């Protein structure tokens, strides 16, 4: 179960956005990145996203452009996930209750689909995030390689789950212009 929780946290970390991005966010990546860089306060706790995640977001956003509508729709989904977590007063996703987890995952799933994100498993049997063509889009590996050291999810990373979605969804949502249709 611990591994499943870690996996859940990683996926949420990648998929969820928690910044205070207004519904009509700027379509350029700066607005999203600024939102990611600013922390979020949940029950008095300020949570920041690690720089490596933000940089990965920035890199992917640089390679893929988004429309205003895509950003707006995805942010809408993210705000729903954020609201669920804030309402539950969650600061540690390892301790999230099943109802909130379900609400968050539903929003995440919807946003991920808009973003054309895929969950995949590498040869190392670790879950990774890929784009629709199989190219690795997001990794959670340590910055420093070849030590055999494993990445450990620090508790402070867990609530960042919300943050990641917005930009990731924005980023990965470029090629799919399903948003408006999905509003039906």
Q: Which residues bind another protein (CB under 8 A)?
A: 1, 3-4, 7, 28-30, 50-53, 55-56, 58-59, 62-63, 65, 106, 109-110, 112-113, 116-128, 130, 132-137, 139, 143-149
Q: How far is the CB of 164 from another protein (least distance, A)?
A: 12
Q: How far is the CB of 24 from another protein (least distance, A)?
A: 17
Based on the number of CB atoms within 10 Å of its own CB, is 166 exposed (0-12), middle (13-18) or buried (19 or more)? buried
Q: Which two tokens stand for residue 140?
A: 């959670």
Q: How far is the CB of 106 from another protein (least distance, A)?
A: 7
Cα angle: 174, vertex 176, 180; to 5 degrees: 105
Q: How far is the CB of 125 from another protein (least distance, A)?
A: 4
The beta-strand segments (E) located in the chain are 40-42, 45-47, 118-121, 127-130, 136-138
Q: Which two tokens stand for residue 55?
A: 């940089």
Identify any residues that bridge with 118 across adjacent strands, giving them in sequence order: 130
Nearer to another protein, 52 or 97 (CB): 52
Cα separation, 148 vs 142, whole angstroms: 10
Q: How far is the CB of 114 from another protein (least distance, A)?
A: 10
Nearer to another protein, 86 or 118 (CB): 118
Nearer to another protein, 46 or 51 (CB): 51
Nearer to another protein, 41 or 63 (CB): 63
- Asked whether 76 and 154 are in contact (CB, 8 A), the reply is no
- Asked whether 105 and 162 are in contact (CB, 8 A), the reply is no
Cα separation, 176 vs 181, whole angstroms: 11
Q: How far is the CB of 129 from another protein (least distance, A)?
A: 10
Nearer to another protein, 28 or 97 (CB): 28
């Amino acid at each position: 179960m611990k591994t499943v929780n870690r996996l859940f946290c990683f996926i949420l970390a990648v998929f969820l956005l928690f910044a205070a991005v207004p519904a009509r966010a700027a379509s350029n990546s700066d607005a999203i990145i600024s939102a990611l860089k600013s922390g979020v306060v949940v029950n008095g706790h300020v949570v920041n996203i690690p720089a490596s995640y933000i940089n990965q977001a920035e890199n992917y956003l640089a390679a893929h452009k988004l429309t205003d509508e895509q950003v707006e729709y995805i942010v809408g989904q993210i705000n729903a996930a954020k609201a669920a977590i804030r309402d539950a007063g969650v600061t540690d996703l390892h301790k999230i209750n099943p109802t909130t987890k379900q609400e968050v995952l539903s929003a995440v799933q919807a946003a991920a689909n808009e973003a054309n994100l895929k969950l995949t498993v590498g040869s190392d049997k670790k879950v990774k995030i890929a784009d629709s063509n199989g190219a690795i889009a997001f990794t959670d590996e340590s910055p420093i390689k070849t030590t055999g050291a494993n990445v450990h999810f620090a508790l402070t990373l867990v609530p960042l789950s919300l943050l990641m979605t917005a930009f990731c969804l924005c980023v990965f949502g470029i090629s799919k212009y399903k948003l408006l249709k999905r509003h039906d």
